[in-house]
Amino acid sequence: MATSPNLTRAAFPKDFRFGAATAAYQVEGHSFGGAGTCHWDTFAATPGNVLRAEDGAIACDQYHRYEEDMDLLKAGNFDAYRFSTSWSRVMPEGRGPVNQEGLDYYDRLVDAILERGLEPHATIYHWELPSALSDLGGWTHPDIAQWFGDFAEIIDDKIGDRLASVATINEPWCVSYLSHMLGHHAPGLRNIRAAARSMHHVLKAHGEAITRLRARGRDNLGIVINFEHTQPASDAPEDIAAATRQDAINNRWFIEAVAKGQYPTEALEGLEAHLPNGWQDDMAAISQPIDWLGVNYYFRQLVAHDATETWPSTKPVQGHLATTQMGWEILPDGLYALLMRLKNDYVGDLPIMVTENGMAWDDHVRNGIVEDSERCAYIRDHMGAMQRAINDGANLTGFFYWSLLDNYEWAFGYERRFGMIHVDFETLKRTPKASYHMLKDLLARS
């Protein structure tokens, strides 16, 4: 597989780490090891929510196959693994008793990562909220920050001393807006009050975990935020204004809170009336210093004004760029622009890691081989964008491909394949794709 000649390790900073990412519910197999039910189990059990009504009960069975998966990561010349810890596996009721078997799994996983000379990068919450907490209102409940803080300390007690980095929350926009306003993810609400509250509480939970882990002396703490490259669908002033509103909600809300302790005006105009009383008092804890920022980037999104809809009166528009199996428009320059925007407008020289970037494709194994040349190009082009940002002064310290394996792609079940390793979901056999071999080769070269 030909790679562009300058894409070698040597073209990246000396300590730059290359890894791959997954998340607990998407790969582990939630039916194993005494995990409690979570809101994704019930979301998936509700007709119409998930393609083919699939859930995470078996997933990739990484719960039993983590050694094999870490061997593949190592053999691919990678440096690091990003995984997440399942709240409902560790605390089946969300609060109170710990499922020791579940907690021990993460102990074994971290050891397996370290034994292979890889770095473990943990995300404490990647979406599998225990049903018992969901019953109480989940992310809309004012106490969830405390509950999450308790969970974070339990994780820290067990594995905190061995982690290269810790992210509190994965993609707070997805946890809140996508799940409580747009209804696309669990708990599947379409309610602006729930959306606004969860958008605040998820940040409050981040702040609470940072406070608690910092008090324990940790100095590797961050958060993982997702960004899209938002653009107006036309030059019409109302489309430009619509794109500005969407940019405020989807891209600025979370980073502005974390980096500056404020919410963007263009988002507050619709959401402030629904925020919990006294929200301003939480902004100091939300914006306390972090040690690094995680960035997830996948696509460009065109936005138009929708006069038939209430605030924010936006509608997505399909543009002319090539798309992935998700229908997402591919724009590597969007990643460059994002990294420079973060440096210039928000975090300056704070270390940034691209904690997710990758693409889904309708991959097939033929004669033992998966030819995913589209993915190879996507990866090369995005790595090129990262290189350009580094050359222009971005303090980018790592890149994690999403994902190590084909896995449970949430509302799209197992149909959408993001892995650099193919998984046969009948046999659970792993087959490295051409993209894995490309990265293996590229990472071997200095």
Catalytic residue among 119, 171, 208, 409: 171
List of long-range contacts for 366-375, beta carbons under 8 Å, 24+ apart:
368/431, 369/431, 369/434, 370/422, 370/431, 370/432, 370/433, 370/434, 371/433, 371/434, 372/433, 372/434, 372/435, 373/434, 374/324, 375/420, 375/433, 375/434, 375/435
Q: Which of residues 373-402 bind ligand FCB (CB under 6 A)?
A: 402
| Sheet strands (E) in 214-371 | 221-232, 292-305, 314-317, 352-356
How far apart are the C-alpha atoms of 320 and 359, rounded to whole Å? 17
Among 409, 420, 421, 430, binds ligand FCB (CB under 6 A): 409
> Minimum distance between the CB of residue 174 and ligand FCB, rounded to whole angstroms?
6
**Per CB under 6 A, does 249 bind ligand FCB?**
no
Q: Of the ranges 30-38, 167-175, 260-268, 280-288, which one interacts with ligand FCB (CB under 6 A)?
A: 167-175
Interaction of residue 54 with ligand FCB, rule CB under 6 A? no
Structural element, H or E, at residue 21: strand 17-21
Closest distance of CB 172 from ligand FCB, Å: 11
Minimum CB separation of residue 83 from ligand FCB in Å reads 11
As measured in angstroms, the least distance from the Cβ of 416 to ligand FCB is 8
**H-helix or E-strand spanning residue 397:** strand 396-402
Position 170 contacts ligand FCB (CB under 6 A): yes
418 binds ligand FCB (CB under 6 A): yes
- Residue 89 is encoded by which pair of tokens? 């596996």
Q: How many residues bind ligand FCB (CB under 6 A)?
A: 12
DSSP annotation of 350 reads: S
Q: Is 119 a catalytic residue?
A: no
Q: How far is the CB of 269 from ligand FCB (least distance, A)?
A: 26
Complex with ligand FCB: residue 147 or 418, whichever CB lies closer: 418
Tokens of 372: 């995913």
* Residue selected from 24, 113, 124, 174 as contacting ligand FCB according to rule CB under 6 A: 174
Q: Do 179 and 125 meet the contact criterion of CB atoms below 8 Å apart?
A: no
* Residue 408 near ligand FCB by CB under 6 A: no
439/8 Cα distance (integer angstroms): 9
Which C-beta is closer to ligand FCB: that of 270 or that of 419?
A: 419
Report the amino acid identity of residue 217.
G
128: contact with ligand FCB by CB under 6 A: no
Q: Can residue 23 be called a binding residue for ligand FCB (CB under 6 A)? A: yes
Question: For residues 56 and 21, is the Cβ–Cβ distance under 8 A?
Answer: no
Token couple for 349: 């020289």
Q: Which is nearer to ligand FCB, 99 or 296 (CB)?
A: 296
54 is known as an active-site residue: no
Q: Which two tokens stand for residue 264?
A: 């963007």
Cα separation, 102 vs 155, whole angstroms:
11
Q: Which of 54, 356, 372, 406 binds ligand FCB (CB under 6 A)?
A: 356
Give the nearest distance from C-beta 26 to ligand FCB in angstroms: 6
For residues 6 and 399, give the distance between their C-alpha atoms in angstroms, rounded to a whole number: 17
**Which residues are within 8 A (CB) of 373 and not within 5 positions of it... i.e. 6 or more apart?**
434
Residue closer to ligand FCB (CB basis): 44 or 283: 44
Question: Residue 226 interacts with ligand FCB (CB under 6 A)?
Answer: yes
The least CB distance from residue 127 to ligand FCB, in Å, is 7
Neighbours of 436 (CB within 10 A): 27
Rule CB under 6 A: say whether 410 interacts with ligand FCB. yes
**Residues 8, 118: Cα–Cα separation, whole Å:** 19
Residue 84 touches ligand FCB, criterion: CB under 6 A: no
Identified catalytic residue from 54, 208, 256, 356: 356
Q: State the minimum distance, in angstroms, from the CB of residue 63 to ligand FCB.
A: 17
The Cα diameter of the chain in Å comes to: 61
Find the helix or strand (DSSP H, E) in which 170 lies: strand 165-170
**Which of 28, 41, 171, 363 is close enough to bind ligand FCB by CB under 6 A?**
171
Backbone torsion region of residue 48, taken as left when φ is above 0, otherwise alpha when ψ lies between -120 and 50, otherwise beta: left
Binding letters toward ligand FCB, positions 86-125, x by CB under 6 A = ----------------------------------------
Shortest reach from residue 173's CB to ligand FCB, in Å: 9
Q: Judged by CB, which is closer to ligand FCB: 83, or 147? A: 83
- Name the residue nearer to ligand FCB (CB basis): 207 or 419: 419
The catalytic residues are 171, 356
Please report, as ranges, the residues that interact with ligand FCB according to CB under 6 A.
23, 26, 170-171, 174, 226, 296, 356, 402, 409-410, 418
